[in-house]
Chain A
Amino acid sequence: MKVVYARLWVRIKGSNQEPEWVAAELVIPLLTLSAYIYLYKMLNAPPEFTGFVVIGGTMIAFWVNVLWNMSAQFYWEKETGTLETYLVAPISRMAILLGMALGGIVNTTLRAVVILVAGTFIFQAPLVINEPLTALLMFFLTITALYALGMLFASLFMLYGREAWHTANLLQEPVYFLSGSYFPTNLLPFFIQLLASLIPLTFGLDSVRRVIVQGEGIADIWLNLVALVIFILVLFPLAKFALNYMENLGKKEGRLTLRWQ
Chain B
Amino acid sequence: MFVCSWSELQYCIETKDLVRIFKSKDQTVKALDNVSVSIEEGEIFGLLGPNGAGKTTFIKILTTLLLPTSGEAYVGGYNVAKESNKVRKIISLVSGGENPGYGILSASENLWFFSQLYGLSSAAAKEEIKRLMVDLDFDEYAKTRMSRLSTGYKQRLNLARGLLNDPKILFLDEPTLGLDVLTSKKMRSYIVDWAKKEKKGTVLLTTHYMAEADEMCDRVAIIDRGRTLACDSPLTLKENLKENVIMRVEVSSVQADFSFMEKMAGVIGFSQTRSIQTDTTTLKVMVHDEPIFSKILAKLEEQKLKILAINKAEPTLEDVYISLVGRGFEGEGAE
Q: A189 interface residue, CB < 8 Å from B?
A: no
Residues of B within 8 A of A88 (CB): 63-65, 88, 91-93
Chain A residues whose C-beta falls within 8 Å of the C-beta of B112 in the assembled complex = 6
Given A81-B99, A256-B65: A9 and B88 interface contact (C-beta under 8 Å): no
CA distance A89 to B95 in the complex (A): 14
**Cα of A6 to Cα of B164 in the assembled complex, Å:** 15
- Select from chain A the residue with minimum beta-carbon distance to B69: A252
Q: How many A residues, CB 8 Å from partner?
A: 28
Judge whether B118 is part of the interface by a CB distance below 8 angstroms: yes
* Cβ B161 vs Cβ A85 within 8 A: yes
Interface magnitude class on chain B: 20 to 34
A residues 82-130 with Cβ under 8 Å of B?
82, 84-91
* Residue of B60, B92, B93, B116 contacting most chain A CB atoms (<10 Å): B116
Whether the Cβ atoms of A257 and B99 lie closer than 8 Å is no
Taking a contact as CB atoms under 8 Å apart, the answer to whether B99 and A82 are in contact is yes
Cβ–Cβ < 8 Å partners of A7 in chain B: 113
Q: Report the bound CA distance from A257 to B161 in whole Å.
A: 19
Whether B114 and A87, one on each chain, are in contact in the complex, defined by CB atoms closer than 8 angstroms, is: no
A/B pair count, beta carbons within 8 Å: 72
Chain A residues contacting B43 (CB-CB under 8 Å) are none
Instruction: Give B93's nearest chain A residue, CB to CB.
Output: A88
Check if B98 sits within 8 Å of A84, measured CB to CB: yes
Q: Given A3-B116, A3-B117, A5-B116: A90 and B67 within 8 A (CB)?
A: no
Q: Give Cα A209 to B146, complex, Å.
A: 43
Contact with A along B132-155 (1 / 0, CB 8 A): 000000000000000000000000
Quick check: which of A10-18, A133-141, A159-167, A191-199 contacts chain B, the rest being far away?
A: A10-18
Q: A235-261 interface mask toward B, CB cutoff 8 Å, 1 = contact, 0 = none? A: 000000000000010011010110000
Q: Measured between C-beta atoms, what is the minimum distance from A233 to chain B in Å?
A: 27
How far is it, in angstroms, between the C-alpha of A74 and the C-alpha of B27 when the chains are bound? 28
Q: In the complex where A87-B65, A251-B67 touch, is A81 in contact with B98 (Cβ < 8 A)?
A: yes
For the complex formed, measure the closest distance between the CB of B91 and the CB atoms of chain A, giving whole angstroms: 7
Q: In the complex, A117 Cα to B238 Cα: how many Å?
A: 75
A84, A86, A88: most-surrounded residue (chain B CB, <10 A): A88
Q: What separation, in Å, do the CA atoms of A234 and B266 have in the docked complex? A: 71
User: Is the beta-carbon distance between A81 and B95 smaller than 8 angstroms?
Assistant: yes
Which of B102-110, B219-227, B309-317 contacts the other chain? Answer: B102-110
Alpha-carbon gap, A254 to B63, bound state (A) = 13
Within the assembled complex, what's the spacing in Å between the Cα atoms of A85 and B60? 12
In the complex formed, the residue of B with least CB distance to A13 is B105
B residues in contact with A6, CB < 8 Å:
112-113, 116-117
| Interface residue B22 (Cβ < 8 Å from any Cβ of A) | yes
Q: Complex Cα distance A91/B84, Å?
A: 11
Report Cα–Cα, A91/B165, bound state, in Å: 13
Q: A7 vs B105: C-alpha distance in the bound complex, in angstroms?
A: 12
Question: Which residues of the other chain, A, contact B113 by a CB distance below 8 angstroms?
Answer: 6-7, 9-10
B5 within 8 A of A: no
Contact A13 B93 (CB under 8 A): no
Rounded to whole angstroms, the CA-CA distance of A70 and B32 in the bound complex is 36
A14-B102, A90-B89 known; A254+B118 contact, CB < 8 A: no
With an 8 A cutoff between CB atoms, is A80 at the interface? yes
> Shortest Cβ distance from B98 into chain A, in angstroms?
4
Question: How far apart are the CA atoms of A123 and B185 in the complex, in Å?
Answer: 65
- Please measure, in the bound complex, the distance between the C-alpha atom of A256 and the C-alpha atom of B65, giving whole angstroms: 7
A82 and B65 form a contact (CB under 8 A): no
Q: With A and B bound together, what is the CA distance between A184 and B113 in angstroms?
A: 44
Would you mind naming 7 contact pairs between A and B with Cβ atoms under 8 Å apart?
Answer: A9-B113, A81-B95, A82-B101, A87-B65, A89-B118, A251-B64, A251-B67
Which of A's residues lie within 8 Å of B, judged by CB? 2-3, 5-7, 9-10, 13-14, 17-18, 80-82, 84-91, 248, 251-252, 254, 256-257
Nearest 4 A/B pairs, CB to CB? A6-B116, A90-B88, A89-B117, A81-B98
Q: A17-B104, A84-B95 are known; give 16 further A-B pairs, CB within 8 A.
A: A2-B119, A6-B116, A10-B113, A14-B104, A14-B105, A80-B103, A81-B98, A85-B101, A88-B64, A88-B92, A89-B88, A90-B85, A90-B118, A251-B66, A254-B20, A254-B66
